[in-house]
Homo-oligomer: A and B are copies of this chain.
Amino acid sequence: MPHAPGSKAERPTLRDVAKRAAVSAMTVTRVLRDDPRVLPGTRERVLAAVAELGYRPNAMARSLRLGHGSGLVGLVVTNLANPFYSRLALGVDSVVAPHGLKTVIGNTRQDLDSERELVADLVGRRVDGIIAVPAGGDQRHLAAAVAQGVPVVCASRPPAGFEADHVLVDDFGGARNATDRLLALGHRRIGFLGPPAAVYTSTERLRGHRAALRAAGLPDDERYVRQGQQDIEQAARAAGELLALPDPPTALFCSNNRNTIGAFRAVTAAGGDTALAGFDDFELADALGLPLIIQAYDSDELGREAGRLLVDRMRSAPGGGAPARRTVLPTRAVQYGTPRPAPEPCP
C-alpha cells in the first residue's frame, strides 16, 4: 500500500477510524479495549477500518488522559560498554517488559552533570520508575525524583541522602574472602587495584580486603593500594607500578574486571608468577593460562532484582508507603587454573 506522495502524511487517529467505520470515536475505543457490549457486526467494521488504515493508538495521548505514567522505566548507568551493565540492563528489561514496560537507557559516562540532566529528563517524560547505578556521592537529583513521586531503585550502590529500595552485591564479604584465599596460599604482600575511591563498590571492596589483612595480623601498606583505574590500560599501568616496587606484592587483588584484566596484562608482560584474584567474573577468564581467583556474582540477577523491587514499588502506594527494602546478592569464589602459592612460604 504505497502512500500518495505529497498527501497528508499524518497518522490516522481514532476519529479517522470512527469515520471510516461510520461509528463514534467511543465505539472504536470500546472495540480496542475489548468492551463486551459492542455488537459483533460493529466490532467487525471497526476492526476492518483499523486494519485498513493501519491505525495504532497513540500511547502518549492515552497515558495523558489516563493520568498515569508513560510505561517507561529509566535505566541510568555509567557505561553500557561494560558487559556488567549490559547484563544489568538485560536483567531489568526481562522483568519489566512482561509488565508492558519498556526500558529507556541513559548512559552517563561517569559524568555527574549528564546524570542529573538525564534524571530530570526522565522525570519529565513521566517514566514509571528509575533504576540507577549512581555515579557519585551527590545523589540529590535522585532524591528529587523520589520527592516528585517517581519510584527509584538503586543498583549496585546504595542511595545516599534519601530512602529508596536498592540491590547490592556483597562487596565487603566477597573481597575479604578473595584476600583470605590469597592469604591461605601463603601470600603476605598483597596489592590492591581498583577504580576511583568515589565508586562505592570499590571502597567497600577495599574495606573487605583490609579487613582480611588485619584479621591476619598484617600491616595495611598504602604503597600496595592503587585506586583510580577506570579502564584496562590504566589498570595495567598501575599493576606494573606495583610489580616494580622494591618489595613487590606477590599477589594482587583487583576490585573489578577492568582492573583484573589490566593486572593480567601486566603480570603476563612482566613474566612473573604473581598470583591474581579479582572481583567480577568475565568471559574467557578461564582461558588466560594464568591461575585466577574470581569472586563472581550474577549481574543479570542484579538487574532482575532491581526490576522486581521497582515493579513492587510501582504497584504499592504511589505516595511512597512501604519502607525501603534492601537486597544483598552473594558472591561465590571461582578458581580458574591451579592456585599459585606464595614463592617463599614464611618460615
Interface residues of A (CB under 8 A from B): 1, 3-7, 9, 11, 54, 56-61, 63-64, 70-72, 80-81, 83, 85-87, 89-90, 93-94, 97, 102-107, 120-126, 144, 147-149, 261, 264-265, 268, 282-284, 287-289, 318-320
How many copies of this chain sit in the oligomeric assembly?
Answer: 2
Q: Which residues on B sit within 8 Å (CB–CB) of A103? A: 104-105
What is the predominant secondary structure among interface residues of chain A facing chain B? mixed
- In the complex formed, the residue of B with least CB distance to A109 is B94
A81 touches B72 (CB 8 A): no
Q: Which residues on B sit within 8 Å (CB–CB) of A122? A: 102
Docked Cα-Cα span, A265 to B9, in Å, equals 54
Q: Which of A59, A121, A147 has the most CB of B within 10 A?
A: A59
Docked Cα-Cα span, A343 to B72, in Å, equals 57
B264 touches A126 (CB 8 A): no
B81 touches A87 (CB 8 A): yes
A125 touches B9 (CB 8 A): no
B149 touches A59 (CB 8 A): no
23 contacts between A and B (CB under 8 A): A1-B147, A3-B319, A3-B320, A4-B319, A6-B319, A54-B144, A54-B147, A54-B148, A56-B120, A57-B124, A58-B124, A59-B124, A60-B126, A70-B125, A71-B125, A72-B104, A80-B89, A80-B90, A81-B83, A83-B83, A97-B107, A265-B287, A287-B287
